[in-house]
Chains A and B, each alone.
Chain A
C-alpha cells in the first residue's frame, strides 16, 4: 500500500514537472469550447454555402452542442488518453527503471495499480474540464429544455474509461514499445463496435456506454437500461489489470 502511494505520488509530481497535466488540461478545455462553437456555427456555415437557395435550417439546440461534445470525447478524447497512458509501463520496461524500484522492495502489482490510477485520474479530470466548459457555453447560448439530463449522460462515458485504461495499461505491460497499448485499445474498440451490429449484444457491450449518451441526455433511455454493460465493463477492467499484473510478474525487468 505504501509502495502504491509512493509511485502514484511520484507519477503526479513527474506529470506536473513535465507539463503533461497542464497540456492535457488545456487540450480538453479547447475541446470543451469547440463543441458549442460547432453547434452554433454549423447553420451559419451551411447558409453561406447555399447562398441563393432557400433552405430551412433548424435552429441550433443544446442537443447539437452536446452531440458535438460526445463526438469529440469518444472519437478524439478516448484516443488522446490512450496516447497518455500507452507509454507509462512500457517506458519503464524499456529504460529498466523498474529494477531500482523493485530492488527497493516495491511490489510489482503496486506499479500497475499506481499507473492505472494515474491514468484514470487524468481521464476523469480531462472529461470533467471539457464537460464544465461545454456545460457553461450550452447553458448560455442554447437555454432550451431539450437536454434535461447532462450529468446522467456523462456517467457511462466516465465508466467506460475504467475498462479503456485497463486495456491500455495491459497493452503497455505486454511490450517495450510505447504504441502497443494504443494499438490494443484501438483494436478492442473496433472489435466491440463491430459486435454492436448485433442488437442482442447492445445492452451488454461496454462500447454502448460511449454511444448512448445522447439518448440518456434527452431522456429517451434510462440510466439503468445499460446496467449489464456497466457490469461487463467492470469485469473486463478487473480481468485486464489482473492479466497485466501477471505479465509483469513473469517478466524480466
Chain B
C-alpha cells in the first residue's frame, strides 16, 4: 500500500480530529489574547499550552486558567 492510500484510508478519522483540534486551538488563542489576566501562568505559557498540548491545554485553560470577571 502506498503512503497516499494509507492516508486516504484514515481520512475519515483525521479530518474531523484535525477540525476539532483547530477549533480548540483557535478558541483558546482568541480567549488568551483577549484576557490579560490568568489565575496562574502567563500569556506565553497559555498560548503554548492551548496550541500545542491538545486537547488538554484548552481544557485546562477554560476550566482552571482563565480569570473570570
Contacts and interface: CB of A to CB of B under 8 A. Distances in A.
Interface of A: 18-20, 22-24, 26-27, 29-30, 33-34, 36-37, 40-41, 80, 83-84, 87, 137, 178
B53 interface: no
B63 A84 contact: yes
A26 B20 contact: yes
B55 A26 contact: yes
29 contacts: A18-B68, A19-B27, A19-B62, A20-B62, A20-B63, A22-B27, A23-B24, A23-B27, A23-B59, A23-B62, A23-B63, A26-B20, A27-B24, A29-B20, A30-B17, A30-B20, A30-B21, A30-B55, A33-B17, A33-B20, A40-B10, A40-B13, A80-B59, A83-B59, A83-B60, A83-B63, A83-B64, A84-B63, A87-B64
Contacts of B58: 23, 27
Interface of B: 10, 12-13, 16-17, 20-21, 23-24, 27, 31, 55, 58-60, 62-64, 66, 68
A87 B67 CA distance: 12
B61 to A, nearest CB: 8
B14 to A, nearest CB: 9
A90 to B, nearest CB: 11
A36 B13 contact: yes
Secondary structure type dominating chain A contacts? helix
Given A33-B13, A37-B13, A178 B24 contact: no
A178 B64 CA distance: 8
A46 to B, nearest CB: 15
